[in-house]
Chain A
Amino acid sequence: LSNYRDQHFKGSRTQQEEKLKASTTLYVGNLSFYTTEEQIWELFSRGGDVKRIIMGLDKHKRTPCGFCFVEYYDRADAENCMRYVNGTRLDDRIVRTDWDAGFVEGRQ
């Protein structure tokens, strides 16, 4: 586990750690604003079956703003992406992935 933590997480630090260890969701950062869901889908499917992708949107403009959440069906597939996709390029930018405790509506 790395140092990134969702600042808005409701619950104790330990609860958050527990959730992260069982999570099948990744936070993906450092994306270009022009990167589409389709591109992210292709890259992250290489680790396993993706369940859904939630694009991070700008609060006011409702446009992509450089991050997203990728949710897998299986933990093992998400682990593959942490190991092998993290730190490689999409749209010429190095993508950063991290565990996320699960997406809750409104976080984009």
Chain B
Amino acid sequence: MSRRRAHEDDDSDSDDGRSRSKRHRTENIDIEERLEKLILKVGDKSSASLESNLEGLAAVLEHDIANYKTKIIRILCDVVIGYPDKMTVYTTLVGLLNAKNYTCGGEFIEILVRDLKDVLKACEFEKARYMILFLADLVNCHVVSASSLLSLYDNFIEVCLEDNIPQTRSDWYVHTVLYTLPWVGKELFLNKENEFNKLLVSIQSYLGKRSKTHLHALKVWSSDSPHVQEDRLDCMWAQIKHLQSNAWTERLIRRPYLAFESALQDALQHTLPNIIPPSHHEDALYPLPVVVFRMFDYTDVPDETTVLPGSHSIERFIIDEQLHLTLLLNQYERKDCAATLLMFKEEKIPLNYMIIETVFAQMFRLPNPPTVEIFYHSLILELCKLQPSTMPIVLVQATEMLFSRLDSMNTVCIERFVNWLSYHLSNFQFKWTWEDWSEVLKMDPMAPKAMFVRELLTKCLWLSYHKRIVEMCPDEFASILPAEPRPKFRYHAPDDEIETETMPELMYSLRLTKSIKAKCTPEDVLDFLKEIPNPLDDSVEHTHNPLAIDVFVQTLLNLGAKSFSHSFAAIAKFNKVFKELGSSDEGQQCILKSMYDLWSDHQQMMLVLVNKMMKTNLLSVSAVANWIFSEEMMRDFTRFYVWDTLHASIRKMNKQVNQLQLEVEEMKDKKEEAANKVNDGLDVDENVPTEDDIEALEEKLDTAQSDQKNLFLIIFQRFIMMLSNHIANSETHGQEVNTLWFKWALDRLRQVFLQHHSVVRQYNNTLETLMFTSDIDFHILTVFNEFQALRG
């Protein structure tokens, strides 16, 4: 959710509980709104200088403090998390206010600290980081004393000494302290050198002891060539060391308070109260570790007048952070976002390169990007629009680089790369020098580059049409082009009718076609299907008839082959037949198999139909999962659409559980509310849920939760079986275990863990004791251990 919006919502309560005459009240609200507008506007583009605006605003606020102190302080506390991009503007403002009115400064600190304690308790770590950074920068404005900030940091660093806590907890506290040092390091160094050094020593010793098991799971590239993919804390430490070696001086942070040195110098400082980090508890979720994304260095920038700051320079840190923040704050407005990014007028830095690196860093972030992928795709289009002569050149270079580094790229990232590039090319008439990639034609089709080009062409096909793909590619690409997406109908009737009569299956299909065209009912179809003899061994009872299913599914879907809508309409009309045929697991497997046989050349159709049938409960999520790992699907196992389908099934399940959870809570709230009303002697609305209602819903939730767990267990079981078989086979035949296929499969297993880590986490015990035990192969076990280390 947008921080700005959150902050507006907060404001609406602040007028509650005031008892004044209505007229007086409206007047007050007018002034309050005016004050708020003034505060929010300062630091934006203006004809006057920032300094004079700040000075003017400080004077206005000083004047209004007598009557509107609470409101002013509230607004100032809210901008801390609402406008982190203007942090130093607001610290300066608070500094100026404090210089004029010491009590007011004190109250501001008191309330901000109270807010900070609340958000720490609520585990809202992103907000907490902005607040701590604000407090730190207030040291520069002579509002907070350096020594009290250091004692706060000492408390934070002590978290590293706690026993039995996840590393992510101590990481967050250390990261937050390090993060503020570009702003406040110099003041701490000048005022409290000894204590500050001690703090740095403790941090360094903590960093030396950290486990790095999680790193491999979060790296975009497994190889450290040409760029090391570092853990964020390690990288930041190197950058801070660089800052230290420059006597804590940098030249990129905008510091408006420097212009007011004389006014701020004599102000009295406040001491921060003692802030103790709330202790760890089971439900506390700390931010996941991050690996720093690097794709460029200075040699990649052809323009010699600009120099890309080195990976471990403090400049790289500051610019990267500003760009990341811009993306985060403008994620709902791609046009504003692109314009703001391009406005960074730092001298002599290759801005376009840094912007593209930042966009890709977020797009490829593991386990999940901070925003939906399509935001980054559309942002890149806007950047090209605003810089048509320079941006596309950087993008082409970046694309070539990503392509050349595909061999060690994480599969999930390759998938995102395909998604982005197909969309991007479709916005530029699919113009690309495809010949440059003809090396893939000679490769093993499972080699990452070959796989990438094939999947890219498939996605381009989905966004256009087959003829266009054929025309845009060089002729030599024929072998790698996606097939024309046509149905492969099994029951084509030959022209000769007599011949048809000798083939019973064809007759069934033909008759079914006729009755469907004559608008028969689902019941008619069911009756008809009963006539089809079951080819399965008739000595035992069977839950399903594979021939009847195949005739029905192929015939119906072939009739609806014209478009998705036609197929959906066909499935909806004969919903009852699908329900009946798929009443057993085996039946559902047969349905899926018949669909696949018809549509194996039209992967988008398969994806869409299977999704639709899951959503309408004609197929269960576990049936879909089992089908994906089935013998028939092995030839498509590495294709991307298969994994789209699997993750869609997981998402469907997760959503269902979340929804039921929400409903149960709502019901309980309603009941409680009604009970309170009764106690207060008030009338109760109708429709108060009863204990029975709640119980019934909770039962539903229980079932959904066990289905959800079951789904994950099936998936993991299947993975383990398949991977173990591969390993055993390779060993018996004396072959290499680490084949291309094996790498794909392991990455897909890792993906299930990572993308759904918060759900999978609940099953840790079961997984550890029943599935990922010490006797399975270490290749597989490693994936599980890395996953556990994420929150470790």
Residues of A within 8 A of B (CB): 36-39, 41-43, 46-49, 51-55, 73, 80-81, 83-85, 88-92
B396 interfacial contact with A, CB 8 Å: no
Task: Provide the residues of chain A in CB contact with B568, threshold 8 Å.
Answer: 52
Are B378 and A38 touching (Cβ within 8 A)? no
Are A84 and B377 touching (Cβ within 8 A)? yes
Task: Provide the residues of chain B in CB contact with A91, threshold 8 Å.
Answer: 464
Are A42 and B334 touching (Cβ within 8 A)? no
Are B378 and A84 touching (Cβ within 8 A)? yes
Residue from B462, B565, B605, B615 within 8 A of A53 (CB atoms): B565
Are A85 and B374 touching (Cβ within 8 A)? yes
CA A37 – CA B604 in complex, angstroms? 12
Interface residues in B503-545 by Cβ distance below 8 A to A read: none
B741 interfacial contact with A, CB 8 Å: no
Cβ proximity bits B454-472 to A, threshold 8 Å, 1 near / 0 not = 0000010011110000000
Starting from the known contacts A37-B565, A85-B374, 16 additional A-B residue pairs (CB-CB under 8 Å) come to A37-B563, A38-B604, A39-B462, A41-B564, A41-B608, A46-B374, A49-B615, A52-B565, A53-B565, A83-B332, A83-B378, A84-B372, A84-B377, A88-B427, A89-B427, A92-B429
Are A53 and B564 touching (Cβ within 8 A)? yes
Q: Nearest chain B CB to A27's CB is how many angstroms away?
A: 17
B611 interfacial contact with A, CB 8 Å: yes
Q: Nearest chain A CB to B432's CB is how many angstroms away?
A: 15
Q: Nearest chain B CB to A79's CB is how many angstroms away?
A: 9
Q: Closest A-chain residue to B651, C-beta based?
A: A49
Residue from A51, A55, A84 within 8 A of B374 (CB atoms): A84
CA A41 – CA B429 in complex, angstroms? 19
Q: Nearest chain A CB to B766's CB is how many angstroms away?
A: 29
Residue from A38, A81, A88 within 8 A of B564 (CB atoms): A38
Residue from B381, B463, B605, B615 within 8 A of A90 (CB atoms): B463
Are B381 and A88 touching (Cβ within 8 A)? yes
Q: Nearest chain B CB to A55's CB is how many angstroms away?
A: 7
B419 interfacial contact with A, CB 8 Å: yes
Residue from A47, A55, A73 within 8 A of B565 (CB atoms): A55
Known: A52-B568, A88-B378. Is A38-B462 also a contact (CB below 8 A)? yes
CA A25 – CA B220 in complex, angstroms? 36
Q: Nearest chain A CB to B188's CB is how many angstroms away?
A: 42
B423 interfacial contact with A, CB 8 Å: yes
Are B375 and A41 touching (Cβ within 8 A)? no
Residue from B334, B465, B611 within 8 A of A49 (CB atoms): B611
B373 interfacial contact with A, CB 8 Å: yes
Are B463 and A80 touching (Cβ within 8 A)? no
Interface of A is mostly: mixed
Q: Closest A-chain residue to B375, C-beta based?
A: A84
Known: A36-B465, A36-B563. Is A46-B377 also a contact (CB below 8 A)? yes
Are B426 and A90 touching (Cβ within 8 A)? yes
Known: A53-B564, A90-B426. Is A85-B378 also a contact (CB below 8 A)? yes
Interface residues in B547-581 by Cβ distance below 8 A to A read: 563-565, 568
Task: Provide the residues of chain A in CB contact with B459, threshold 8 Å.
Answer: 42
Are A39 and B611 touching (Cβ within 8 A)? no
CA A42 – CA B605 in complex, angstroms? 11
Cβ proximity bits B602-640 to A, threshold 8 Å, 1 near / 0 not = 001100100100010000000000000000000000000
CA A17 – CA B183 in complex, angstroms? 47
Q: Nearest chain A CB to B427's CB is how many angstroms away?
A: 4
Are B563 and A46 touching (Cβ within 8 A)? no
Are B465 and A83 touching (Cβ within 8 A)? no
CA A60 – CA B540 in complex, angstroms? 57
Q: Closest B-chain residue to A42, C-beta based?
A: B462
Interface residues on B, range: 20 to 34
Q: Nearest chain A CB to B422's CB is how many angstroms away?
A: 9
CA A21 – CA B426 in complex, angstroms? 31
CA A81 – CA B427 in complex, angstroms? 16
Known: A42-B462, A83-B334, A84-B334. Is A47-B564 also a contact (CB below 8 A)? no
Are A42 and B381 touching (Cβ within 8 A)? no
Interface residues in B369-406 by Cβ distance below 8 A to A read: 372-375, 377-378, 381
CA A52 – CA B569 in complex, angstroms? 11
Give the 6 A-B CB pairs with smallest separation, nearest first: A42-B462, A84-B378, A84-B374, A89-B427, A46-B374, A37-B563
Task: Provide the residues of chain A in CB contact with B564, threshold 8 Å.
Answer: 37-38, 41, 53
Q: Closest A-chain residue to B332, C-beta based?
A: A83
Identify 18 residue pairs between A and B in the complex whose beta-carbon atoms are under 8 Å apart, listed by A's number: A37-B563, A38-B564, A38-B604, A39-B462, A39-B464, A41-B564, A43-B463, A46-B423, A49-B611, A81-B374, A83-B334, A83-B375, A84-B372, A84-B374, A84-B375, A84-B377, A88-B381, A90-B426
Kindly name the residue among A37, A52, A81, A84 whose own CB sees the greatest number of chain B CB atoms within 10 A: A84
Kindly name the residue among A41, A42, A51, A52 whose own CB sees the greatest number of chain B CB atoms within 10 A: A42
Are B373 and A46 touching (Cβ within 8 A)? yes
Q: Nearest chain B CB to A67's CB is how many angstroms away?
A: 15
Task: Provide the residues of chain B in CB contact with A53, threshold 8 Å.
Answer: 564-565
Q: Closest A-chain residue to B423, C-beta based?
A: A46
Q: Closest B-chain residue to A74, C-beta based?
A: B655
Q: Nearest chain A CB to B145's CB is how many angstroms away?
A: 45
Cβ proximity bits B625-662 to A, threshold 8 Å, 1 near / 0 not = 00000000000000000000000100000000000000
Interface residues in B322-378 by Cβ distance below 8 A to A read: 332-334, 372-375, 377-378
CA A100 – CA B463 in complex, angstroms? 24
Q: Closest B-chain residue to A54, C-beta based?
A: B565
Cβ proximity bits B463-495 to A, threshold 8 Å, 1 near / 0 not = 111000000000000000000000000000000
Q: Closest B-chain residue to A80, C-beta based?
A: B372
Task: Provide the residues of chain A in CB contact with B465, threshold 8 Å.
Answer: 36, 39
Q: Nearest chain B CB to A38's CB is how many angstroms away?
A: 6
CA A37 – CA B459 in complex, angstroms? 15
CA A48 – CA B648 in complex, angstroms? 11
Task: Provide the residues of chain B in CB contact with A52, threshold 8 Å.
Answer: 565, 568
CA A91 – CA B464 in complex, angstroms? 6
CA A55 – CA B564 in complex, angstroms? 11
Task: Provide the residues of chain A in CB contact with B565, threshold 8 Å.
Answer: 37, 52-55
CA A36 – CA B468 in complex, angstroms? 14
Interface residues in B422-453 by Cβ distance below 8 A to A read: 423, 426-427, 429
Task: Provide the residues of chain B in CB contact with A48, threshold 8 Å.
Answer: 372
Are A41 and B604 touching (Cβ within 8 A)? yes
Task: Provide the residues of chain A in CB contact with B377, threshold 8 Å.
Answer: 46, 84
Q: Nearest chain A CB to B452's CB is how many angstroms away?
A: 18
CA A12 – CA B32 in complex, angstroms? 35
Q: Nearest chain A CB to B746's CB is how many angstroms away?
A: 27
Kindly name the residue among B334, B374, B375, B463 whose own CB sees the greatest number of chain A CB atoms within 10 A: B374
CA A49 – CA B462 in complex, angstroms? 16
Task: Provide the residues of chain A in CB contact with B426, threshold 8 Å.
Answer: 89-90
CA A48 – CA B655 in complex, angstroms? 13
CA A42 – CA B462 in complex, angstroms? 6
Are B604 and A46 touching (Cβ within 8 A)? no
Task: Provide the residues of chain B in CB contact with A80, threshold 8 Å.
Answer: 372, 374-375
Known: A43-B463, A46-B419, A88-B381. Is A38-B563 also a contact (CB below 8 A)? yes
Task: Provide the residues of chain B in CB contact with A88, threshold 8 Å.
Answer: 378, 381, 427
Task: Provide the residues of chain B in CB contact with A85, threshold 8 Å.
Answer: 374, 378
CA A51 – CA B611 in complex, angstroms? 10
Task: Provide the residues of chain B in CB contact with A49, threshold 8 Å.
Answer: 611, 615, 648
